Structure 1
């Protein structure tokens, strides 16, 4: 039977189906903000303010202690455009959809998905919770420690994923293979890299998690002076002098005497609060370093997150492996991160154009005819953005 000519809608839907299957990190984080960008002609750089949950303090006694509602938000920008450009021949467009997908769409969407995922995975640097075992093999105990951190931070029970790099998967899968045998779950597998579910997580494997190279560090770093409430940076002295990259964005550390508090009661947990450097920093000739940090140090009120501000000369604690690279895997609840795409404008005066949305991912295809070569130059585009919304709902696994 003669094959029918493939339509723009059929090609776009098939491309989205393949792309969606390959996005196993993006596919497991929040995509509920897409509708805010789903309008004709979304502009590059469009920004959405995402409100964070309000927090309040509790009164003791009969006296009224009214408190204002202080709203906080983060900005999600849709400003990154990625795409794949192809040439279709007349012969290509007379193939059946399965052949066309296998030969052309599958490899094109694979490389597009890989670039989008790798881009979004850079959000690991925003996460300050970390189970640190640099140089050690991943273990189920480390996964359970990550689970405890999520529970302690009141992460919802639903939508939890443990997304592993390939080495961590090798280290864990043999020990856990007896647990990944839920037939009902296996029958519903619809993403590449899906392994199974245990310990409250859907386990995924992804080849794209980057290695994190820690700062060179050195010396005996101590806080320099008292740190103000609400501070987003700390001053340090005692570092090895004149070191470029003394600390790197994404390095996790603790400060002696600064403990995490329970998110609701605000009582000290007795566990040191972890912080992450949000920018690279060098040490001066005098051994001083200014470190930009997350979370901000908040010692009172509804958003209190630590027992007290760092005292002068408080020691900084880092995981082992200064200057070395270690693998990154991530345990997270989907609300930790957000990903959104925008509906791109549909051009006129072309051979054909189509735009489709599938599970929160919007893709546009535009094709034109070149009479000189009897080919159809074609572009497939995705306009997207991503943001770490609530980093406390995620935990990094730092292993080999």
Structure 2
């Protein structure tokens, strides 16, 4: 590949662009704040941990005394430690004929199909990880007269938890998009063009969100535990002891509500009159007195009050039916991902491209002297984390 037409640098840059173009979920989540990547662009490997900058949320204090007599709130961005735990690549075998192609032919005939496949696999992985960290859920009736109501409910849920109005997106299955198509004239705003319209699957903008048709939407199958109750009164935090009348599982990503535990306004702590939805964060078999990990945590007192009250002993726990496709509406900072620049190994030729958006792709070629061929791999190394699960909403489809 060392020729005047096709270089590793050209391929890597085009590959990085294509990865983002074919990956609307990746393109619309936080991933561009890895400051240390600019200091060491060749030193990352699977298993490394990086600190990712996340914008802070505002906080309101009472009275005339500055910060209620405390130190002022830190206006610097918060950091989230994120492990680079996943490496994926596509493997190409080049011959002399392919090496003589110009960049346009190479992009369309060879590179784009490979990057579509890679981006689809990476997207599916990240979406599946994101969905299981989101507690708030609404339902879209595909056969109903008003399927777009699910988007309106998602918008209302995000507003309820003070999600910033900008940088909102939604990824939808093809069946959901078809169900919505009959309402195009009413729900879409034809005067607005998103700056993300170049992304694959972009449909339009509605309800304050950029909408994308997506083929890698996650699915979920809820657990089997039944007749669940809270085992003891006055429990707080993110681990609650529960008992099931019929022993069974609560699966990571299951959504539950607890009788008497309502959601509150994030700043004022006022009762919204609606049960708080919680997501199970670790799969467990529930029988008698089983510890169940949940998000958000149960905190019935200020500061950072999250619910109206702790659950009573024997309070009924309802397992929400989330089985099926999990369309997702989300704000950019609900999730964060880091795409780290991989080094080109010794004795190999290659180049690592990094886009301003945070996407990094390595292209690396090595020879096989025994068979007189060259092999090229295109790699991504990344990590992912749910940062603010309440800043996203799952949209479950029903027929």
Task: Give TM-score scaled by structure 1 length.
Answer: 0.88
Instruction: Give the drift of 1:35.
Output: 3.2
Question: After the TM superposition, which residues 379-398 of structure 1 pair with which residues of structure 2 at under 5 Å, given as runs?
Answer: 379-398=377-396
Equivalent residue number for residue 89 of structure 1: 95
RMSD value, Cα: 2.7
* Separation of aligned partners in 2, 1:54 and 1:188: 25
Instruction: Give the drift of 1:168.
Output: 1.5
Equivalent residue number for residue 207 of structure 1: 215
Does the residue aligned with 1:234 lie in a helix, a strand or coil? strand
In the alignment, structure 1 residue 330 sits paired with structure 2 residue 328: yes
In the alignment, structure 1 residue 228 sits paired with structure 2 residue 230: no
Equivalent residue number for residue 139 of structure 1: 147
> Of the candidates 125, 134, 144, which is equivalent to residue 127 of structure 1?
134
* Separation of aligned partners in 2, 1:306 and 1:69: 25
Equivalent residue number for residue 104 of structure 1: 110
Does the residue aligned with 2:267 lie in a helix, a strand or coil? coil
In the alignment, structure 1 residue 114 sits paired with structure 2 residue 127: no
Q: Residue 132 of structure 1 contacts residue 319 of structure 1 at CA under 8 Å; is this kept in 2?
A: no
Distance 1:183 1:11, change over 3 A: farther
**Aligned residue-pair number:** 387
* Separation of aligned partners in 1, 2:254 and 2:6: 50
> Of the candidates 66, 74, 86, which is equivalent to residue 69 of structure 2?
66
| CA displacement 1:199-257 (0-9 Å, x = unmatched) | 11100011111211011122x2221111433x21111224203x3x2x11111111111
Distance 1:270 1:181, change over 3 A: closer
* Separation of aligned partners in 2, 1:348 and 1:206: 39
Q: Residue 352 of structure 2 contacts residue 361 of structure 2 at CA under 8 Å; is this kept in 1?
A: yes
* Separation of aligned partners in 1, 2:30 and 2:369: 44
Instruction: Give the drift of 1:18.
Output: 1.7
* Separation of aligned partners in 2, 1:117 and 1:24: 8
Q: Residue 227 of structure 1 contacts residue 234 of structure 1 at CA under 8 Å; is this kept in 2?
A: no
Question: After the TM superposition, which residues 8-23 of structure 1 pair with which residues of structure 2 at under 5 Å, given as runs?
Answer: 8-23=8-23
Instruction: Give the drift of 1:67.
Output: 3.4
Q: Residue 161 of structure 1 contacts residue 331 of structure 1 at CA under 8 Å; is this kept in 2?
A: yes
Runs of 4+ with >6 A deviation: 61-64, 69-72
Does the residue aligned with 1:254 lie in a helix, a strand or coil? strand
| CA displacement 1:267-314 (0-9 Å, x = unmatched) | 111111110111112133xx5543211111112232211111111111
Distance 1:184 1:132, change over 3 A: closer
Does the residue aligned with 2:43 lie in a helix, a strand or coil? coil
Does the residue aligned with 1:148 lie in a helix, a strand or coil? helix
* Separation of aligned partners in 1, 2:66 and 2:384: 44
| CA displacement 1:304-350 (0-9 Å, x = unmatched) | 111111111111123347xxx31100111111011111111232332
Question: After the TM superposition, which residues 45-64 of structure 1 pair with which residues of structure 2 at under 5 Å, given as runs?
Answer: 45-48=48-51, 50=53, 53=56, 58-59=61-62
Q: Residue 254 of structure 1 contacts residue 273 of structure 1 at CA under 8 Å; is this kept in 2?
A: yes
Equivalent residue number for residue 294 of structure 1: 295
Instruction: Give the drift of 1:183.
Output: 6.6
Q: Residue 239 of structure 1 contacts residue 288 of structure 1 at CA under 8 Å; is this kept in 2?
A: no
Distance 1:66 1:188, change over 3 A: closer
Q: Residue 239 of structure 1 contacts residue 283 of structure 1 at CA under 8 Å; is this kept in 2?
A: no
Distance 1:187 1:290, change over 3 A: closer
Q: Residue 180 of structure 1 contacts residue 195 of structure 1 at CA under 8 Å; is this kept in 2?
A: no
Q: Residue 134 of structure 1 contacts residue 320 of structure 1 at CA under 8 Å; is this kept in 2?
A: no
* Separation of aligned partners in 1, 2:234 and 2:138: 26
In the alignment, structure 1 residue 356 sits paired with structure 2 residue 364: no
Distance 1:266 1:168, change over 3 A: same
